[in-house]
Amino acid sequence: MTRSLPGWPNGTFTNPVVAGMYPDPSICRVGEDYYLACSSFEYWPGVPILHSRDLVHWEQIGNALDRPSQLRMPAATASSGGIYAPTLRHHDGRFWLIVTNVGPGGGTIICTATNPAGPWSDPVPVPGVTGIDPDLAWDTDGRCWCTYAGIEQVRIDPWTGQVFGPPQRLWSGAPGAQAPEAPHLYRVGGWWYLLIAEGGTERGHAVSIARGPEPYGPFEPSPANPVLTHRGTHKPIQNTGHADLVEAPDGSWWMVLLGVRPGGGTPGWHVLGRETFLAPVSWVDGWPVVGELAPVMTAPPWPARPVAAPPPRDDFDADRLHPRWVSVRSRPRKYWSLTERPGWLTLHARDESLDRPEVTFVGRRQQDPSCGVRTLIDTGDGRGGLAIRLDERHHYEIEAGGGEVRVIARIGSMRWAVATRPVSATRVRLGIDVLAAPAEYWHPCQEPDIVRLGVEHADGVYEVLAELDGRYLSTEVAGGFTGRVIGMYAAFGTVRFDWLDYEPVAAKLSP
């Protein structure tokens, strides 16, 4: 029997709680407010910050790294490079964020803020921390410990980045396990708990834990390790790992973690990236026990605190872009504007196509298995369009300019114009529809979804110019750590966009 609590339909909530490419979640609570930080990789601005009052309904309130003085990712930064796995903590009245930029001129940095929505400080380098996934924890004497992938640990001064002594090797999970990473330290009762991920961030991903008398150990592993994994199962949520723990005001404990939702046949393709999921945690004999993790979950024991859903359309009437909008590696001011033509987003071409590392692109994460996207572009004498991107070598786009509209597909080393259509006007409505494959119909080679790219006419009729297999825009094909981003780009000259609509749809492919 489900509980009847205000705001929870049927006493349940749905996972993921943050859909789309919001991986490597790190969480902290201040009073009744929860804050979440995630990886952003090669996308700028970096480290999305989200807020919730109930652990389920989240709203992005900013990005921690939103100024060139905080984050530089040159063209040589690889796709799936850039910003990896932050840790977000609240200590002594201040928010602390530690993160690693995996790219040229990068390294581990610390930023602070009194308001998690920003502004965040310019970064303090921590050159003595050389691994990814850094964590911050303060002991009862006020000393700060940084633990990072490996698993290694060093004491630091978080204000200056100074490191005290050489790094020390800690417990690193199961003997021989791949990729011990994502460490987080917590003091619960009389013990220090070291939570890590192991097994790699693919199907073998898992969460394990150990405890010790001090933040530096010695650590004994839980006899029930891994405390969470879905490897070797048919469960719809896979790649479960990279977790963080939080205690709610009522004393209950919860885990946020990343996972994926594979679709189609074998081996299963996930296209939205690694998403943020929520699971309950109980404590038994001094060890955390993670409850069932599923798409539909029993609601938390408090009223829901929903947030307003973002409107489907962004009219670009505000004086700044919403924090959900991201660009590739950087967003120099001279290449975009909301004021050159008020009410329009103006983009000036920088690189000639999405094959290039510094293309002028403004997009948002695909967050729904099936969705429809439309935009009105004015190409003038330029050329640009609407794209669905995984990286430089894997993207589809519908591009307007020069009296025609064409669909372009880039898959690995191959690039070709799939379809073309003449148009007489410079203002054209471009569209992308993504339709997920039905779970109830399966065959070994079933695609996870299809992508339909086309033109919407004045009477609302959508003319599909090309229908492409979605598996080629998946992590299992392209590799890397990211998910799809859908957005607008300029390939030549200047192009302008009046609005962009993004809406989830219930439609799926027909068997």
Kindly name the residue from 54, 133, 135, 181 that is annotated as catalytic.
181
Q: Give the span between the Cα atoms of 21 and 236, in whole angstroms.
A: 17
CB atoms within 10 A of CB 343: 13
Does residue 181 have an active-site annotation? yes
Angle at 201 between CA 67 and CA 445, to 5 degrees: 110
Q: Helix-strand-coil percent breakdown of the chain, rounded to 5?
A: 5, 50, 50
Q: Which residues pair with 377 in a beta bridge?
A: 428, 497
Instruction: Record the tokens describing residue 350, joined without a space.
Output: 């920088």
Query: For the chain, how many residues are written?
Result: 511
| Torsion-angle region of 150 (φ positive above 0: left; ψ -120 to 50: alpha; else: beta) | left
CB atoms within 10 A of CB 48: 25
CB atoms within 10 A of CB 493: 15
Q: Give the span between the Cα atoms of 202 and 196, in whole angstroms.
A: 15
The answer to whether the beta carbons of residues 309 and 502 sit under 8 Å apart is: no
3-state SS assignment for residue 340? coil
The answer to whether the beta carbons of residues 475 and 349 sit under 8 Å apart is: no
Phi–psi pair at 10, nearest 5 degrees: 60, 20
Phi–psi pair at 386, nearest 5 degrees: -120, 130
Does residue 220 have an active-site annotation? no
Cβ-Cβ contacts under 8 Å for 415 (sequence gap 6 or more): 355, 408, 409
Q: Which of the residues are catalytic? A: 24, 181
